[in-house]
Structure 1
Amino acid sequence: MTPRFAQRMADVQPSAIGELLALGADPAIISFGGGYPDATLFPKDQLDAVFHEVIHAPGGAAMQYAPSNGLPRLREQIAGLMRADGTLCTADDVLILQGSQQGLDFAARMLVDPGDVIVTEDPTFLGALIAFAPSQPRYATVPVDAEGMQTDRLAEVLRANPRARMIYTVPDFQNPTGVTLSLARRHALIALANDHDLIVLEDTPYRQIRFAGESLPTLKSLDTEGRVIHLGSFSKVLVPALRIGWAVAAPASLMRMGCLKVAADTQTSTLNMAAASLFLDRYDLAAHIGTLRKAYRQKKATMLDAIRQHFPQEVSVTDPDGGLFTWATFPDGFDATAFMRDVALPRARVAYVPGATFFPVSQRPNHARLNFSAPSEADINCGIEALGRALKSEFSV
């Protein structure tokens, strides 16, 4: 048979880099590709203890259905974490999600009709573009520099795009570049959103993994008109497999996202929510995050030192204050996708994420995202040295 798919599926296509990253899953390949945390740092013993306890608790509550907006105790705990980070909210302001990725999908479906404009950083998180695709948006993009989204350019973009419905940003240690939106630009972004009556979708999966500099306020904490939807996640600071994220938003937005939640999956796993809640009650999440910060600070330093030693001088990389990634820029005319396919994978035995598909409108092939959190320091040194040899050979031709 020939299925007749809905029009919205026209832009829902497999990622162009999927096959390359599948090859990078070969254990003989040193991969800088995924956005993975370091699995050796997962709190396995503590999670084993809390899962055992919630499973065997009298009455079996952790294995039953739960409220669609999430367990009340977990929402209270997340609200407490938000308040400790300077964002005033209560449990009633929190919606538990199946990972923050689900929040990207819900925000687009709630706000965007086909042909409406989503304003993003350029480049932006590839997973967000995948989540937005079924809503059939158009994109208007704003360049980033060392201080994040260039808000003077954002003003121009908003004036030119009256059908803009939402500004999407990763303000802290942005994926893919690793840069952080400055305080002045955070205030400017909120002011522009107010002037143009736009929702701001603030995506913060890496926010707590800061290992240099001072923490900056969330956009939600600067929001005086209820227009910021804040997305958070335990995936990078606890374990990804829990699939627990959250949204904090104004009541009108949160109610509609809650309706989409019921339609999508009824609720997030009660068992996982109960385990996460008991973990937060029983153990010191801040101390665990401190361990992650120390480890990732060292891994970033190892990667950047190796890049300085082994990469050609024509290649530049960002030096993030936190998060999981650095962003490499190669000379104009260099194709990072072709180089990975033809050289890096088969010869150097190294994988990364080619940068072209992070650009929503006009793809630029001379970039790549490198992850430093997942590989060991030994693999970082070995992989960067091998990749550097391959690049120097390519550039000397």
Structure 2
Amino acid sequence: MPDAILTDARTPAPELAARAARTGSSPVRDILALTARPEVISFAGGLPAPELFDVAGIADAFRQVLAEQPQRALQYSTSEGDPALRTAVAARYSARGLPTDAADLLVTTGSQQGLSLLATTLLEPGDVVLVEDPCYLAALQIFSLAGARVVPVPTDDDGLDPAALDEIAARERPKLLYVIPTFQNPTGRTLPAERRAAVAEVAARRGLWIAEDDPYGELRFEGEPMPWVASFPGAEDRTALLGSFSKVMAPGLRLGTLRLPAGLRRACVIAKQAADLHTSTVDQAAAARYLADADLDAHLARVRGAYQERRDALVDGLAAALPEGSRWNRPAGGMFVWATLREGYDATALLPEVVRHDVAYVPGAPFFAGTPDATAVRLSFVTHSPEEIREGLGRLRTALEGAHRNG
């Protein structure tokens, strides 16, 4: 009898927080789960080519760290990050034209955490965040969890439109602008220098923070490097620059950096203490050792050469693979090509048929904070060899032609 009374008295556990209920799973992650079969040639994920990882160099760095300083490498560390790693990253920024001190940097558990720390320190529920339209999916998730109101800024083939940014900023009074100005995810577009200067000027005049995300900047195949938005007048004291080791070293390390103005840096350190105390000590130490002992620039030259060949294989084959009247770009670096199918095609509706042909892409619609473009497709070119890319494009052509006939 007492057991029955206890059972009857049970009360359901409280519901999830509203932020968890309103934030969906990443469509890219869901698609990757569907296409995990080895026979699938996937243009869906932004996964660096694993055969290009410098496994020997990274393994040697870990061996050296664990042999020479095991107690320090396996111990708790400071929230700000390994001093040697911060010094090395600061030197790389400075060498590329952005004077940086180690004290300007916070090491994060992937640049994704850096964006989460910025959302935690800058955003109250209801605050307005401006984003490029289309925008990186995980950023949309982070801003949703923060309770922000996301407002899209129109883009064209050169990226974000500064005139539209100015008009929207005047109307919406945003707190933050999030932008990937170089080889943007999902479009692969690069913001020209004059637009970067205009973005900095608008941010200064309208009074907003800039989160400048730069995971792909060192993956340039063609043309001259672009200066960071953070380097332009007006942006110096209001830009958080996010960096990542995922695309240049290995994503499994989960290492990133935040370059921050002093006041914001102090707040982000406190937020990081609450989030995870600090990023993995041993991974930071190994990364610092790798940067000291290995030739990262030589490694990146090999990676860029391979990625350029893969980009060419994809872009040169799209005319035969996509319906007549489709459009696509030819990015000068990064990992992604952005295509729009001919009017009347729905990339999301077509995906199941495409996957049945053992090939995959990511529909572009989920990347839009505003009105989605149902014809848009994101194609990653870095994971597969040129031969596999050509085979995948043949499968894609067959799938789209079959769907068109049956439709």
Same fold (TM over 0.5): yes
Counterpart of 2:25?
Answer: 14
Amino acid at match of 1:120: V
Matches within 5 A, 1:105-124: 105-124=116-135
Could you tell me which of 28, 38, 45 is aligned with 1:27? Answer: 38
Q: CA deviation at 1:58?
A: 4.4
Q: CA deviation at 1:50?
A: 1.0
Distance in structure 2 (CA, Å) of the matches to 1:333 and 1:311: 13
Closer, same or farther: CA 384–166 of 1 in aligned 2, 3 Å = same
Matches within 5 A, 1:1-397: 1-16=12-27, 18-58=29-69, 60-162=71-173, 164-224=174-234, 225-341=236-352, 343-346=353-356, 348-396=357-405
Structure 2 SS opposite 1:96: strand
Structure 1 SS opposite 2:154: strand
Q: CA deviation at 1:10?
A: 3.1
Q: CA deviation at 1:354?
A: 1.1
Distance in structure 2 (CA, Å) of the matches to 1:49 and 1:386: 40
Structure 1 stretch 359-368 or stretch 262-271: which is displaced more? 359-368
Distance in structure 2 (CA, Å) of the matches to 1:222 and 1:299: 33
Distance in structure 2 (CA, Å) of the matches to 1:58 and 1:204: 32
TM-score w.r.t. the length of structure 2 is 0.94
Q: CA deviation at 1:141?
A: 1.1
Distance in structure 2 (CA, Å) of the matches to 1:16 and 1:279: 34
Structure 1 stretch 179-188 or stretch 368-377: which is displaced more? 368-377
Structure 1 stretch 104-113 or stretch 220-229: which is displaced more? 220-229
Q: Is the 8 A contact 2:329 2:338 kept in 1?
A: yes
Amino acid at match of 1:4: E
Q: Is the 8 A contact 1:229 1:248 kept in 2?
A: yes
Q: CA deviation at 1:2?
A: 3.5
TM-score w.r.t. the length of structure 1 is 0.96
Amino acid at match of 1:71: D
Amino acid at match of 2:169: L
Q: Is the 8 A contact 1:29 1:349 kept in 2?
A: yes
Structure 1 unmatched runs, 5+: none
Structure 1 stretch 127-136 or stretch 296-305: which is displaced more? 127-136
Q: CA deviation at 1:223?
A: 4.7
Structure 1 stretch 280-289 or stretch 134-143: which is displaced more? 134-143
Amino acid at match of 1:261: K
Amino acid at match of 2:381: F
Distance in structure 2 (CA, Å) of the matches to 1:374 and 1:180: 21
Q: CA deviation at 1:6?
A: 2.3
Closer, same or farther: CA 17–47 of 1 in aligned 2, 3 Å = closer
Q: CA deviation at 1:156?
A: 1.5
Distance in structure 2 (CA, Å) of the matches to 1:245 and 1:99: 4
Identical aligned residues as a percent:
38
Q: CA deviation at 1:55?
A: 1.2
Write the deviation string for residues 106-161 of structure 1: whole angstroms up to 9, x where unpaired: 11121111111110100010011112221111121112222211111111111221
Distance in structure 2 (CA, Å) of the matches to 1:190 and 1:175: 20
Q: CA deviation at 1:14?
A: 1.9
RMSD: 1.4
Across the two proteins, how many residue pairs are aligned to each other? Answer: 394
Q: CA deviation at 1:60?
A: 1.9
Amino acid at match of 2:369: P
Q: CA deviation at 1:17?
A: 5.1
Following TM superposition, where does structure 1 have runs of at least 4 consecutive aligned residues deviating by more than 4 angstroms?
Answer: none
Structure 2 unmatched runs, 5+: 1-11
Distance in structure 1 (CA, Å) of the matches to 2:27 and 2:298: 39
Structure 1 stretch 50-59 or stretch 61-70: which is displaced more? 50-59
Q: CA deviation at 1:313?
A: 1.9
Structure 2 SS opposite 1:60: helix
Distance in structure 2 (CA, Å) of the matches to 1:223 and 1:117: 24
Amino acid at match of 1:356: A
Distance in structure 1 (CA, Å) of the matches to 2:123 and 2:275: 17
Distance in structure 2 (CA, Å) of the matches to 1:67 and 1:113: 27
Q: Is the 8 A contact 2:322 2:341 kept in 1?
A: no
Distance in structure 1 (CA, Å) of the matches to 2:393 and 2:385: 12
Amino acid at match of 2:206: H
